[in-house]
Amino acid sequence: MSEALSITASRVDPALLELPWSTPLADWPSSHIVFLPKGISRHLVRFANLSGRVVAIKETTEAMARREYDMLGNLDRLDVPCVNRIAVIAGRTDASGQPLPAALVTEHLKFSLPYRALFTQILRPDTATRLVDALAALLVHLHNIGFFWGDVSLSNTLFRRDAGAFAAYLVDAETGELHESGLTRGQRAHDLDVARTNIAGEIMDLEAGGRLEGGVDAISIADGIMSSYHALWAALTDKETFRADESWRLTERVRRLNDLGFDIGEMSIETKSDGTKVSIQPKVVDAGHHQRRLIRLTGLDVEENQARRLLNDLDEFRARSSRFSEDEEMAAHEWITRVFEPVVKSIPWDLRSKLEPAEVFHQVLEHRWYVSQRSGRSVPLAEVLSSYIDDVLRHRRDEATLMSPLTETLSLPIITDTHAIIDEDDDGVDWRDLV
């Protein structure tokens, strides 16, 4: 290894020194490589093991690697959904002393997938629409903090399941720019136009590979980001005027934004000189309203839609238990220990890499709804857990670290009796509480 090797990191992992930096990334031995699906990239990207976790390594120029490293740090401080930076490796040379490209090392986002890996065979239109909606929400979030992406695409995004929808994370920030004064309308329009063009090309690529359901219009799917973006941007930023005696409209606007997953940090309010009308406009809108409430109540850090779903179940638990008059934090603690944790702990160890705990809980609730519909009665959670595990979860591929080719369904002993799950638990949970 060259003595000129330079590592830039906020916290250096000694295991970085053990990776074969004197070898071109394309030639790294399989002992270091983890085979994961990845999106289309202009640079060579490979996944590797580092201290028991998976990292993505991208070869690029030193200037671009350092620029993207700094940008990812800024986005992380602004609480933007993006991959975590680890290090920049510069000064690489091969065995003969010839220079090699610099490398940017980022942490692989667990339970996330590139858009192509979400479709094992055929892309359904509703799945494509949900992906585009998630990308639109991410783009609104980025534009709201003054970030110009410059290369918006499905390929530059990772997706995590989020209670029936998807949450989008920025992966590639090398073309991005942060503007403290905010973005102009032209900059936002440019990002949208690039997004529309790239998405259309990516969907057409799936079509060329026979992975697009017949009759699906790639252009129509790509156009969806325009309508989704404009609707969300208007809800967050449009000025609204109402009569002075309609103050309830202010509360309604706040609730509407909360429903979209945003908190208002600041609001501009103007009144006419005669006091007949009031105009309001959000000034600082922070994403993650339900996430923050759930963290405050339970300590659970999940995606926004998952947080909304868990909070709904928490509120239903309080209603069933007649605990609405009690302290909200106390009721949340009881819900965690009596409802959420028993469901999560019921999942066999060999299946826990299938989905995140919050997504599992959401799917159990969905499964209970379907079972209740079929049986014509409200079925307790404990009664549907074993059927969810055996009929649904066991047949999913692992998404904690999805291997390529796709992992096969595991052939393991099947739990057919809910009591078998109860007997394996040693935490003293009374499963009769799961209603």
Give the pLDDT confidence of 218-238 residue by residue, as tens digits: 899 999 999 999 999 999 999
Output the pLDDT for position 422. Answer: 29
Q: Is the pLDDT of residue 420 over 70?
A: no
Residues in contact with 25: Cβ distance below 8 Å, sequence separation at least 6, in sequence order: 44, 46, 57, 59, 101, 103
Give the pLDDT band of residue 400 (cuts 50, 70, 90): low
Output the pLDDT for position 402. Answer: 46
Q: Is the pLDDT of residue 182 over 50?
A: yes
pTM: 0.77
Give the pLDDT confidence of 50-68 residue by residue, as tens digits: 988 899 999 999 999 999 9
Tokens of 167: 């949450």
Output b/e per residue, 94-117; b: 16+ Cβ within 10 A. Answer: eeeeeebbbbbbbebbebbbbbbb
Output the pLDDT for position 355. Answer: 86
Residues in contact with 195: Cβ distance below 8 Å, sequence separation at least 6, in sequence order: 135, 139, 152, 153, 225
Which residue ranges does the chain devote to CATH 1.10.510.10? Answer: 113-237
CATH of 113-237, one of 1.10.510.10, 3.90.1150.10, 2.40.37.10, 1.10.357.10: 1.10.510.10
Q: What span, in angstroms and rounded, lies between the C-alpha atoms of 150 and 135?
A: 14
CATH topology of domain 6-108: Phosphorylase Kinase; domain 1 (3.30.200)
More confident call, 153 vs 382: 153
* Cα–Cα distances in angstroms (integers) from residue 152 to residues 98, 107, 202, in the given order: 35, 21, 12
Give the pLDDT band of residue 167 (cuts 50, 70, 90): very high
**Strand 157-162 with 147-148, pairing:** unpaired
Query: Which percentage of the chain shows pLDDT scores above 90?
Result: 44
Output the pLDDT for position 103. Answer: 96
Which residue ranges does the chain devote to CATH 3.30.200? Answer: 6-108
Residues in contact with 319: Cβ distance below 8 Å, sequence separation at least 6, in sequence order: none
